[in-house]
Amino acid sequence: MTATSRLMSWFSGVGKGASEVLPVRLGGQSLSRTLATPPARVAGSDQALIWITVALLIWGLVMVYSASIAMPDNPKFSRYAHTHFLMRHMLSLAVAFVAAVLVFQVPMATWEKVAPWLFVASLLLLVLVLVPFIGKGVNGARRWISLGIMNFQPSELAKFAVLLYAADYMVRKMDVKEHFFRAVLPMATAIAVVGVLLLAEPDMGAFMVISVIAMGILFLGGVNARMFLLIASVVVVAFGLMVMLSEWRRERIFAYLDPWSDKYSMGKGYQLSHSLIAFGRGEVFGVGLGGSIEKLNWLPEAHTDFLMAVIGEEFGLLGVVVVIGLFVWMTRRIMHIGRQAIALDRLFAGLVAQGVGIWIGFQTFINVGVNLGALPTKGLTLPLMSYGGSAILMNLISLAVVLRIDYENRVLMRGGRV
């Protein structure tokens, strides 16, 4: 089978069907194959990805309001109106939408040039958040910088910056198979520096996501399976040591293993036990929108980390399956866009898109697993849905970059230039 036939058979397996124009450069030459549908259909952006994003954002907005409407009844939030978190979430969505529209205008070639500098900027912000009177602490964690209209979380920017930096690094270090340690060690050192700063906040959840993003891009960038397993083993051992050497992290693991015990039910197992109660009340079809009992100041952080528990209570198993299905569909579309970019000899763009897919897919997996009691409690929000301005902002920016990659793919497939 020739290189041309292999390429076309690959596209037929991941594309939408035999309806696209696929000019691909092979050996400095241009190969075009026009099928039945006119080229105009290739123009634009991935409509499925856009509508899935809109659906999750709208559903998240409704659920944030539902989960937070009773919070002013708690003396801690008595000065807030019942619509306080709804209005702030709407403001975050508006800011994120404007930022996403602006980011979509930026070519991928520009992102490739600024990737190292954005990584350095994220490191500076991670240092700045630890400075007294600059970083804002909540519940014993110093993770935010106040910007007036919203609090910004540098760890969310760090996820995006590491993603771009890792993709750019792998493009520049394509000799990873021949000189593995010399090529990978600098990136590993950079990730370790980010990890030290995140653990100082502390924010182990963000460090886990960043580590998985970097490892995923490393694997997709050309590291063979044996070396990847070696890296994965080192990372697992490192996180295991972090848990073993920290008393309060060990207590979280013990609480996860037995949240109903007298020792943990009113302490570190409190969130998990009430999350499980919420899912139990929801059963298959839920108690109806607004009917949750657990959100009435029983389940802490119901509008952020444990929003899925409220969804499970109000929409039941059916609602949970729909949300998971939407995220799976979204991740699949993002990964397809990345594979398409790589097939068009755009390695950096392809690795960035697939890195975004890994980011959203893994963070969703962790959040849902924590809510269902399948994983120990971690401070990670549900992408696009949970309350949190920084997370929403960076989620939409990353998706805007993916849509830009898809747009440039389509321009190339029509024979144009980017």
Task: State the DSSP string of 155-194.
Answer: HHHHHHHHHHHHHHHHHH-TTTTTSHHHHHHHHHHHHHHH
Integer Cα distance of 315 and 73 in angstroms: 24
Closest to 211 (Cα-Cα) out of 152, 142, 158, 144: 158
Q: Side chain identity at 116, as an amino acid letter? A: P
Most distant CA pair in the chain, distance: 71
Give me the tens of pLDDT residue by residue for the chain, a chain 418 residues long. 444 444 444 434 444 433 333 333 333 333 333 333 334 344 567 899 999 999 999 999 999 999 999 888 877 777 888 898 999 999 999 999 999 999 999 999 999 999 999 999 999 999 999 888 887 777 667 788 888 777 889 999 999 999 999 999 888 876 655 566 776 778 888 888 998 899 888 888 898 999 999 888 888 877 766 777 777 787 888 888 887 877 777 888 878 887 887 777 777 888 888 999 999 999 999 999 999 999 888 888 889 999 999 999 999 999 999 999 999 999 999 999 999 999 999 999 999 999 999 999 999 999 999 999 888 887 789 999 999 889 999 999 999 999 999 999 999 998 877 7
Answer whether 150's CB lies under 8 Å from 389's CB. Answer: yes
Q: What is the pLDDT of residue 316?
A: 95
Provide the residue count of the chain.
418
109-144: burial string, b at 16+ Cβ within 10 Å, e else = eebbeebbebbeebbebbeebeeeeebeeeeeebbb
Answer whether 43's CB lies under 8 Å from 410's CB. Answer: yes
Q: What is the pLDDT of residue 13?
A: 44
- Domain segments of the chain: what residues? 1-42, 49-113+164-413
Q: What is the pLDDT of residue 6?
A: 44
* pTM: predicted TM-score of the whole model, two decimal places: 0.85
Upper half-sphere CA count for residue 312 (Cβ side, 13 Å): 21
Q: What is the pLDDT of residue 149?
A: 76
Answer whether 145's CB lies under 8 Å from 125's CB. Answer: yes
Q: Side chain identity at 190, as an amino acid letter? A: A
Contacts of 155 (CB under 8 A, 6+ apart): 126, 143, 198, 201, 203, 206
Q: What is the pLDDT of residue 270?
A: 85
Answer whether 250's CB lies under 8 Å from 243's CB. Answer: yes
Q: For the CA atoms of the chain, what is the radius of gyration? A: 22
286: left (phi over 0), alpha (psi -120 to 50) or beta: left
Integer Cα distance of 225 and 223 in angstroms: 7
Answer whether 406's CB lies under 8 Å from 45's CB. Answer: yes
Cis amide leading into 72 (omega within 30): no
